[in-house]
Amino acid sequence: MIENSMKNILEDLSNLIIETHDIKINKQLAKILSIDKEKLIEIAKRILKNSNSRLVHEIAIDLGIDGFKIIQLYELFNSEGKAYHIGIESYFPREESKIPSLAAITYQANWAEREIMELLGIEFEGHPDKRHLFLPYEWPNETEAGLEEAKKIGFNVFPKPEPPNILPIGPYHPALLEGVFLRLKVDGETIIDADLKPGFNHRGIMKLGEERSYWRNLYLFERVCGICSADHTNAYVLAVENLFNIEPPDRAKYIRTLGIELERIASHLLWLGVAADLIGFKTFFMWCWKEREKAIDLLERLSGNRVTKGIARFGGAKRDLGKEEIEKMIEKLKDIEKSVKNLLDIAYNNSILRKRTEDIGILDFQNAIEYGAVGPVARASNWKIDVRHDCPFDAYSQEYTTWDVIVDNGKDVWARVIVRIKEIFVSIDICNQCLNALKNIKGEIVTSEKIELRKGEGIGKVEAPRGELIYYLMSNGEPIPYAVRIRTPSYRNNAIVPFILKGYRISDAPIIYGSVDPCMSCTDRVQIIDIKSGEKKIISLNDLIKRR
Amino acid sequence: MIIEIIYFISLIIFNIFLSFIFLFLFRKINAKFQGRKGLLLIVPKDLRKTIGSTKIMQQFYDILKLFYKQTIIPKNSHKKIFIISPIISFILSIIIIPFLYFPIINDAQQKFLFIPFDLLIITYAIILIHIFWNIGAYASASPWAYIGIERSEKLNFFAQISFISSIFSIAILSNSLSLKEIVIKQDIPYILLNPFSAISFILFILVNFNLKPFDVSEIEVEIVSGPFTEYSGKLLGLIELTKTILFYINSILFINIFLKSGEFFSSIINLFLLLIFAGIFVIILSIINNIFPSYRIDQALKIYPILVIIFSSLSLMLSFIYKIFFG
């Protein structure tokens, strides 16, 4: 089925393609089509014309004197809901670093292209919003920052000095515990317009990843996000395994899956608590976090750590589980299931909680596809999209575990609450299946195959608690990756926030923004480069001490 | 004369001390309800060297800390009003204290309590405190404060109706506007005779102290801290102190009016009874605060007026019925 649709598209585009090659994504092969940069938009239009297609990410790589390479990765779904991938790549020299913008066709490329413009200096012609994504809007001056151009197009740029009907939320605000700047234009209590500005927490992790060996990166990417660290290492390890063609043993796959699912339980309970706090329900917040502690205890039993778990290793897992531990974990999971049922009862029966979350922050099915929602936000808009189901990895495919994707037709914040609570039960079910399987399966937890370095590309894709998480790796045969690109779920969901805020009240703003489970540490993981001089500077610790 | 002044000063200081203990109780119950430990009444032995043997006065230190901090006055604000309003509110809250009825009364306090309309003074002082806070906030020129004031005034309009009708239905019931007379005349506690009046009083307290589900005017996740967003340092300390005292005053006033001020037995036990009843009242408020999330402002403005109209009219009607049939 997949092959047929792929063939159709390839035939359709055959006269435009220069050459094709494959990249391994989880257990599939994605076709990458090399084309001329002038034809990027034409092909993008043809692919996005399919009703069930979406842009996964737009990646640009600096190839030194060879110029730049740009990859647009698309995902298409067949009638069974399984995904297959098509990528378009194009090379162009440094001198002609102007290419047509994909964001003019689809909003899904908006943030990705703004990031590329900022970091690599590639200019996207026809991009609707050329403002900085991570740097301050007006840096170094309005012309260079693209503010004047944005004004001409009529894009909403907030003037300075700010009129009193603009409410600044952040970077420091009691509702947002993370550094992000959300500006609301209000009429009385109603929000007319909103603007989200990330970029207060740069750590340069992608650049750091290009300067360390594959092994050292394992510890680095664990630190992208504290809440879903197992997902990040897992996605990175999958990318490396896909790049060098290694297959982990079954026992390791179950252990990794167990780590990811336990983390999902902990993350969703954490979110549930924060969401309750955002509507002023401090008691529920405390109760949720108390239950979350149990899930964290299980993770500690599994990996030995509470935050940076380090479960996945290249071709396997770090630590094995004994029979006694498995029994104890099954018992504790029952305990968690019972208490989550209690929380669900409270949430269902508390009339104020429902009143505060129903019919606000509505995201239609069509808009969810158009703006590029991922994870529970997309699933609450009745879009059945889940990496675990569409493009299975580790022990998620049918031969290992059986489970269902949770979707809800509500489209509002309440639907997102329900989807997440139900997903906790699914996760508990998967954990139980994994633990029972671990009782029976014997064998090594790390493969005996050795990593043979080679040139190529690999993509790792996992379903993190917040949605689809992607790691792209490019190797030139050396023990250090040539390029690392990370597309986190919050990166996509944060971009949707201004659309789902419009028309609602100021009181709803925190819970609507909270409903996408924003994680700024995921979104701000990029390095700032001096655009004016075009150089990047590495500042040593000693320099910093001197400056102070 | 000097003795009287010393008496009043010590009375006020003692009451402020008690108000901190009431807030400690409120925070402790909140913590217990949420599954936390909260402030420690008795600190474990190994920690005593570093944090002291009890945390019962933590609320006091929290406020004291603010008096050592820099007071920032916004550039666009109307400075005089911005500074004076919290000071007037604080003075008003201090003025109310001697009017409260305690089972052990000094002769000096008797003079205050023999003002035949002291209940009116208390009522208007409590309402004025809030008005002055909002005037000061309006002078601060902050968008968050504007939204906070708008919400606070909308809700307080109904809260004050609730408060006044509650007080007046009791005044009708006891045929007096003097707090002392109301306490003495209570053969049966008024909470049993007119429970609707008590509910109206609680409805007022929920809005006045921003307790859930009606804490919309100061809810921090939405509008930072509403009217008080721009206040800092000593002025914020003064506001927090006023809030603490006002919370205590309202709890004591509730017991004075509705539970005979605890005067059921001989006089020494009565003082303890008063404080125990007031403590129970604080616990009830704390539980209400913990079992609800907060309403959105439009939802609060739909539900709160209906509650106020129902309970305040019922309480007034009940008082009139008693008045007509039982004299």
All structural domains of chain A: 205-523 (1.10.645.10)
Amino acid in position A3: E
Please provide the average confidence, as pLDDT, over all residues in chain A. Answer: 83
Closest chain B residue by Cα to residue A510: B222
Stretch A273-286: mean pLDDT, rounded?
A: 86
Across the range A328-346, mean pLDDT stands at: 90
Closest listed residue to residue A107, CA positions, set A525, A510, A497: A497
Cα–Cα distance measured from residue A264 to residue B56, given in angstroms and rounded to the nearest whole number: 40
Span A450-470, mean pLDDT?
A: 89
Q: Which of B35, B224, B293 sits opposite A287 (nearest CB)?
A: B35
Mean pLDDT along residues A402-425: 89
The structure tokens listed for A223 are 């630190």
* pLDDT reading at A512 higher than 80: yes
Mutate to test the interface with B, among A167, A269, A352, A512 (most CBs of B within 10 A): A352
On the question of pLDDT at A150 being above 70, the answer is: no
What pLDDT score does A155 carry? 47
Q: Are the Cβ atoms of A286 and B34 closer than 8 angstroms?
A: yes
Q: Which amino acid is at B218?
A: E
pLDDT over 70 percentage in chain A = 89
**Closest in B34, B36, B219 to A280, CB measured:** B219
> Which residue in chain A has the smallest CA separation from B29?
A283
Confidence grade of residue A540 (pLDDT, cut at 50, 70, 90): very low
Name which of A165, A507, A513 to mutate to probe chain B: the one with the most chain B Cβ atoms within 10 A of its Cβ.
A507
What is the pLDDT at residue A528? 33
Q: What is the pLDDT of residue A539?
A: 41
Contacts 24+ apart (CB under 8 A), B250-253: B250/B126, B250/B205, B250/B208, B250/B209, B251/B22, B251/B278, B251/B281, B251/B282, B251/B285, B252/B100, B252/B278, B253/B100, B253/B122
Residue of chain B with shortest Cα separation from A507: B222
Task: Quote the pLDDT of residue B11.
Answer: 82
Element spanning A71, H or E: strand A68-77
pLDDT (tens digit per residue) in A218-259: 888 888 888 888 899 999 999 999 888 888 898 898 999 999
Q: Are the beta carbons of B222 and A353 separated by less than 8 Å? A: no
pLDDT, mean of residues A501-516: 84
Q: Do A279 and B294 touch (CB under 8 A)?
A: yes
Pick the range with the lowest mean pLDDT from A101-115, A210-224, A238-252, B255-269. Answer: B255-269
Q: Do B213 and A352 touch (CB under 8 A)?
A: yes
Q: Which residue of B has its CA nearest to A164?
A: B143
Predicted pLDDT at A223:
85
Closest residue of chain A to B288, computed from CA coordinates: A283
The size of the A-B interface in CB pairs under 8 A is 82
Give yes or no for A283 touching B (CB within 8 A): yes
pLDDT at residue B148 above 70? yes
Q: Do A505 and B224 touch (CB under 8 A)?
A: no
- Percent share of chain A, pLDDT over 90: 9
Per-residue pLDDT, averaged over B141-168, amounts to 87
Distance from CA of A351 to the nearest CA of B (A): 9
Q: How confident is the model at residue A547 (pLDDT cuts 50, 70, 90)?
A: very low
Name the β-bridge partners of A123.
Answer: A98
What is the pLDDT averaged over residues B58-65? 88
Q: Is A167 on the interface with B (CB under 8 A)?
A: yes
Contact A286 B222 (CB under 8 A): no
- The per-residue pLDDT for A426 is 92
Interface with chain A: mutation pick from B154, B294, B296, highest number of A CBs within 10 Å: B296
pLDDT at A544 over 50: no
Tell whether the model's pLDDT for residue A526 goes beyond 50.
Answer: no
B240 touches chain A (CB under 8 A): no
User: Has residue A303 got a pLDDT over 50?
Assistant: yes
Lowest mean pLDDT across A3-7, B114-118, B173-177: A3-7
B87 pLDDT tier (thresholds 50, 70, 90): very high
Each residue of B201-226: pLDDT tens digit?
999 988 888 888 888 877 777 777 88
Contact A507 B296 (CB under 8 A): yes
Q: Say whether residue B155 is in contact with chain A using an 8 A CB cutoff.
A: no
Least trusted range by pLDDT, from A434-443, A511-520, B37-46, B118-127:
A511-520
pLDDT of residue A394: 85
**DSSP assignment letter at B199:** H
Flag if B291 and A283 touch (Cβ within 8 Å): yes
Residue A536 has pLDDT above 50, yes or no: no
Amino acid at A146: G
pLDDT at B185: 79
Q: Is B290 on the interface with A (CB under 8 A)?
A: yes
Determine the distance from the C-alpha atom of residue A8 to the mean position of all C-alpha atoms in its chain, rounded to a whole number: 30
Nearest alpha-carbon partner for A475 in A461, A462, A459: A459
Percent of chain B whose predicted confidence (pLDDT) is above 70: 94
Kindly report which listed range (A187-191, A527-531, B293-297) carries the lowest average pLDDT score. A527-531
Q: Which residues of B touch A189 (CB under 8 A)?
A: 147, 297-298
Q: Which two tokens stand for residue A61?
A: 């790589």
Query: Where does the pLDDT of residue A447 fall: very low under 50, low under 70, confident under 90, or very high at 90 and above?
Result: confident
Residue type, B64: L
Given this model, what pLDDT does residue A541 score? Answer: 44
User: Which residue among B33, B147, B291 places its CB closest to the CB of A506?
Assistant: B147
Mean pLDDT of A91-98: 86
Q: Could you report the per-residue pLDDT of A463-479, keeping only the tens digit for each?
A: 988 888 999 999 988 88
Min Cα separation A305/chain B (Å): 24
Residue B24, pLDDT > 50, answer yes
Mean pLDDT of A270-298: 88
Mapping DSSP onto H, E and C, the string for A103-159 reads CCCCHHHHHHHHHHHHHHCCEEECCCCCCCCCCCCCCCCCCCCCHHHHHHHCCCCCC
Q: What is the pLDDT averaged over residues A380-394?
A: 87
When comparing pLDDT for B200 and B2, which is higher? B200
Of A167, A355, A510, the CB nearest to B221: A510
Is B145 near chain A, with CB under 8 Å? Answer: no
Which of A393-407, A419-433, B39-53, B97-111 holds the top average pLDDT? Answer: A419-433
A532, pLDDT greater than 70: no
Q: Which residue has the higher pLDDT, A512 or A522?
A: A512
Cα(B255)–Cα(B189) distance, integer angstroms? 10
Determine which helix (DSSP H) or strand (DSSP E) holds A438, and give its type and residue range. helix A413-440
Q: What is the pLDDT of residue A430?
A: 92
Closest CA to A105 of A77, A83, A127: A127
φ, ψ of residue A314 to 5 degrees: the values are -60, 120
Across residues A88-115, what is the average pLDDT? Answer: 87
